Structure 1
Amino acid sequence: MTDRHSGGGRGTQRDTVVVSRRRAPEAPPPRARGVQRDTVAVTTRRPPRLRGVFQAGFVTCCWNGLVVFLPILVAVITAWWIAGRPGGVGDVVRAAGAVWIVGHGVPVTVAGLPVGLAPLLLVAVVFWRLTKAGANTVRAIAGRSFPAVRAATISVAVNYTAITTIAALAVAHTPFDVPVWRVAVNAALMSIVAGSLGALGASGGGTALWNSMPPWLSRGMHTGLLVTLMLLSAGALLSGIALASRSTAVTATLAAYPEGVLAVGLLTLVYLPTAAVWGTSYLLGPGFAIGVDTSVRIIGVELGPMPVFPLFAAIPDGPLGDAGTLLYGLPILIASVYGVRLGLRGHDLRAGAAFFAVLVTTVTSTVLIAAVTALASGPLGNVRMAEVGPDPLLTAAIVAAVTFVFGLIGCFSVRLFGGGRRDVLDEAGR
């Protein structure tokens, strides 16, 4: 009996051991769930972003390209219908494509006549839509980091360059001649600059980058942008005054197009920002040309026969005289005022940093003015009308000299003569 009980006890012990061995495999499920969570995290976060960035870039580039192209197509179809529908539908679509390509700063030859004077309103719309493409692409991949901004920018640049190159190949048939390589280069440059700006703004990286800059750099760039906007605004005001003061001649040019007055009026509106840049160059001194060996400046005007067009009718036919030379003081005043503003906001900077802030202001305004004047210049035909618009290098050089000299005077005048009221000046600068 004792052995049996002992055996029973040992049997019970063995049963306990057996039971514990059978229950032991029930412990691993938490590990399996842990492994499953790791696997799901890896497969759901990385691959969709890598696969989706180029898809998102393609979709946004196509959409934003259509947003610009379709209104151009409607305007060209309207003009074609009013003119009696010459040619076929394919010619109309290629003409709309040629106008869209000119909006990228690329000259297009039409029936042997080069047209390279870009309407800046169209260029601005193309640039704006490319910033939207960059912003929408980085939002589509939920990007919040600089690698995401870089990926979105590359996607927009590659897709948009491919789209515009294909469009250029489709347009490049008689009577249109398009330099396809230049279309690709301009589209790539515009999409990189605009796409990166849009992606930085949408991801929040632009604010972080701006806040991480040294104060002299950010303040100098901001002031340079303001100087550029004020110079262009002054040019736009001068152009508007010229159109208003010569309204009779402008209206007479419209009467020369009894059946195409709508198209000519729309074309005039599209070229108004281009005329504003001409007005800015006129204020700065170099002026602009309307044909080879011509010049329109405050101190003198040399013109020949010009096409009948409303903007050309508003061009002054002679110098403004001694009183008109006072307009030369307007760019100097703008540079001085913003130099003072920079000095007010930069009292916390050392003299060396303030100097570099003025230098950054000069570089920023010079580069921007050079870019817009280059876009506002180009041919409108062969031989005589092969040169239209301002000289970008000369205009940029004058902007650099005026902004640096008078910006420096304004900035350091505040620092030298405003020391006794430093707290007040700092408060005013903020």
Structure 2
Amino acid sequence: MHRLLVALLAALDALLAAAVGVAVVLAPLALMWVVALGDAEWSALWPAAAAVWHLGHLVPISVTLPDAYLAATGVDPALATFTLSLAPLAFAAFTGLFAARSGVRAAESGSALTGWISGSLVFAGIATLIAMTSSAPLVSFETWQAILFPALIFAVPALIGAVAGAWRVGDDGPIDRLRAWLGRMPSAWAGVPALVLRGVALTTLGLVAVGGVIVVAGLLARGTQIITLFQASNVDAIGATVLALGQLVYLPTLVLWAVAFAAGPGFALGTDTSVTPAGTQVGAVPGIPILGIVPESTTSWLLLLALLPLAVGALAGWILRAQTPERDGHEPVAPRLTVAVSVAALTGGVGALMAVFSHGSIGPGRLAETGPQPGPLALALGLEVLVGLAVLLLAPLPRRGARGDRIAAGSGDRAFESTRAARERPSDALLAAAPAPWLVDHSEKETGDDRPSLLADRPTATNASPVDADDDVQARIREAWSKIEPVPREWGDGPETGPTGARDARPVD
């Protein structure tokens, strides 16, 4: 595909990613502006929508409450200004997935670099335009963060998608040179980088799945408390709709909190609070309905949730074990150990990123500290996944083809015949046990010149030893050897011993 066309399509992807994200915020806010607020100032609609979009792309937002609101609610003026930094990760997740898909399409079109640069520049330009046109007295943010953070959330997944697509289809450039370099590595180590990346992808998807299952279980178990908080909010239909949508975009954030809860370190719901399987210590929880999912107390049975990340590591180890390279029928330990340690370390890094993305402030005072901490979560996930990986990736398990099927004897050697084959065809086992090539085959297969074929003429002769056969086969072999008699010297230049009994045997030319 022409590079210009690839660049235009990538730019369109970036435009759609930004437009859909803004529209998801702008549509419900406009509905609330029309139905609920009535004569509200329309000039504040765009800054409010832009602030939510920026917050969803990890940009901290500074909020200043007006004096009239402080006087009406009796809020302490010292708490009038606070920061919102706990991101509704649904926006970032959508942008990242859309960008990754755009990068893959650019790579499959043969212009990965062109598509990545075009899409990233267009998205950065859109982020700049939104930041420059959405200033407001009540909501503010750092301009450089409002430009850089959204641009990175698009550019990094787009680059990963472009590299993945180029790796799959080739690019006649650096990716192909990297693959060629990996191909020149020793056979036991050539597949290690790919196994590590595949393992990290498996553990990441597995941990997200674990978090999703825990969130669903919490919604089912604590549904009554969530409904009670909804009723206590005293909002009309429009307010309930906006509140429900606001909680929905925070659903990925809750999933990451659930991952931290399962791993053990848990998360905080305010300063000096903790929610872990070992115990829950929280004060007054904000009246947000979805926070009703947080258990008021815990039981020791919840400590078994730590087995879920371990099971994720074991599943990844089982999948990777089937793809580890073999050498001479054996699996080298060093490559497998490298894969296990690398996957565990990178999974810990992914856990730290999960904590960074799902940590922040949701209000003034003690609410400035919510979410998991990166260090403890990274350490816990790394160790738990490492144990699971080691169980199946490093254990000396039997491999396919290692016993009874085939035993590698070198590039020029023939394979040993299995015991079952020797049992079914004792004559072949006898011929394989013969020490000299001049012995005559006693089978009824006739050659073209009406003389018994020699063992040396058999192209499919095996090297199976009669020792591998059972007692019945060995008895037949001994009986056959007892019938071997000396062969006259005029039959050929070979030794004086050889088989007899062929119906039409005659001297060899």
Match of 1:363 in 2: 345
The secondary structure found in structure 1 opposite 2:359 is coil
Q: Distance in 2 between matches of 1:423 and 1:69?
A: 61
Q: What letter corresponds to residue 269 of structure 1 in structure 2?
A: L
The residue correspondences of 1:312-323 to structure 2 (distance < 5 A) are 312-321=291-300, 323=301
- Residue 172 of structure 1 is matched in structure 2 by 135
Residue equivalent to 1:219: 195
Determine if the alignment matches structure 1 residue 230 to structure 2 residue 209: no
Gaps of 5+ in 2: 65-80, 183-189, 407-509
Aligned CA distance change for structure 1 residues 284 and 250 (closer, same or farther; 3 Å): same
AA of the residue aligned to 2:88: P
- Aligned match of 1:79: 32
What TM-score, normalized to structure 1?
Answer: 0.78
Cα 1:421/1:60, change in 2 over 3 Å = closer
- Structure 1 counterpart of 2:394, which letter? F
| Aligned counterpart, 1:258 | 235
Q: Is the Cα contact below 8 Å between 1:220 and 1:359 reproduced in 2? A: no
3-state DSSP of counterpart to 1:237: helix
The amino acid across from 2:63 in the alignment is: V
Write the distance in 2 (CA, Å) between the matches of 1:156 and 1:272.
27
After TM superposition, list the pairs within 5 Å mapping 1:5-404 onto structure 2. 49=3, 57-85=10-38, 87-111=40-64, 112-134=81-103, 138=106, 143-144=109-110, 148-200=111-163, 204-208=166-170, 209=175, 212=179, 214-255=190-231, 256-259=233-236, 260-321=239-300, 323-346=301-324, 348=326, 350-404=332-386
**Separation of aligned partners in 2, 1:135 and 1:420:** 35
Change (3 A) 1:411 1:168: same
1:143–1:344 Cα change, 3 Å: closer
State the one-letter code of the partner of 1:339. G
User: SS of 2:376's equivalent?
Assistant: helix
- Distance in 2 (CA, whole Å) between partners of 1:103 and 1:328 is 30
Worse overlay, 71-80 or 190-199 = 190-199
What displacement does 1:88 show? 1.8
Q: Distance in 2 between matches of 1:215 and 1:207?
A: 18
Whether the 8 Å contact between 1:224 and 1:363 is mirrored in structure 2 is no
Distance 1:222 1:207, change over 3 A: farther
Structure 1: segments with no counterpart, 5+ residues: 1-44
Provide closer, same or farther for how the CA distance between residues 234 and 56 of structure 1 changes in structure 2, counting only shifts above 3 A: closer
Secondary structure at 2:322's aligned position in 1? helix
Q: 1:134 to 1:417 in 2, by over 3 A?
A: closer
CA–CA separation in structure 2 for the residues paired with 1:242 and 1:424: 50
Question: TM-score, normalization: structure 2?
Answer: 0.66
CA contact (8 A) 1:288 1:295 kept: yes
The 3 A distance-change label for structure 1 pair 58 and 236 is: closer
Displacement of 1:54 in angstroms is: 6.1
- Seen in structure 2, the aligned counterparts of structure 1 residues 423 and 387 have a Cα distance that, compared at 3 Å, is farther
**Secondary structure, counterpart of 2:275 in structure 1:** strand
Deviations 1:83-139 (A, max 9, x none): 324632221111111111112111112223321111122211111222344456x38
Alpha-carbon separation, structure 2, partners of 1:425 and 1:319? 53
- Higher RCO, 1 vs 2 (CA within 8 Å, ≥6 residues apart): 1
Tell me by how many angstroms 1:218 deviates.
Answer: 1.1
- Aligned-partner residue type, residue 100 of structure 2: T
Q: Radius of gyration: which is bigger?
A: 2
Q: For the Cα contact (< 8 Å) 1:418–1:425, is it kept in 2?
A: no
Q: Against the structure 1 CA distance between its residues 63 and 328, is the aligned structure 2 distance closer, same or farther, given a 3 Å change threshold?
A: closer
User: In structure 2, the residue corresponding to 1:83 is in which secondary structure?
Assistant: helix
CA contact (8 A) 1:296 1:303 kept: yes
Residues 88 and 133 of structure 1, relative CA distance in 2, 3 Å threshold: farther
Measured against aligned partners, the alpha-carbon deviations of 1:284-322 in whole angstroms (never above 9, x if no partner) come to: 01000111111001111110112111221110011222x
2: CA distance, partners of 1:215 / 1:332: 24
Partner of residue 12, structure 1 = none
SS in 2 for 1:317: coil
Amino acid at match of 2:137: T
RMSD: 2.8
Say which of 363, 387, 391 aligns to 1:409: 391
Take 1:330 and 1:58, find their aligned partners in 2: how far apart are those partners?
A: 41
Q: Give the match's secondary structure for 1:113.
A: strand
Cα pair 1:65 1:129 within 8 Å, conserved: no
Question: What SS does structure 2 have at the residue aligned with 1:188?
Answer: helix
What is the number of residues matched between the two proteins?
A: 369
Deviation, structure 1 residue 57: 5.0
Question: Partners of 1:59 and 1:401 in 2: how far apart?
Answer: 43
Over residues 162-197 of structure 1, what are the superposed CA-to-partner deviations in whole Å (9 max), with x where a residue is unaligned?
221221122232111111111222133223212223
Letter in 2 for 1:402: E
Output the CA distance in 1 between the equivalents of 2:221 and 2:404: 44
Does the 8 Å contact 1:347/1:422 carry over to 2?
no
In structure 1, the partner of 2:488 is none
Summarize deviations over 1:224-248 as a string: whole Å, max 9, x none.
Answer: 2111211221122112111211111
Report the CA distance shift for 1:334/1:184 in structure 2 as closer, same or farther (over 3 A).
Answer: same
Alpha carbons 1:221, 1:364 under 8 Å: kept: no
In 2: Cα distance, 1:216 partner to 1:257 partner: 57
Q: What is the one-letter code of the residue matched to 1:61?
A: A
Displacement of 1:199 in angstroms is 3.6
Cα distance in 2, alignment partners of residues 333 and 217 from structure 1: 23
Greater alpha carbon shift after TM alignment, 301-310 vs 125-134: 125-134
Cα displacement string for residues 233-282 of structure 1 (whole angstroms, at most 9, x for unaligned residues): 11221121112111111001111232211111112222122111111100
SS in 2 for 1:189: helix
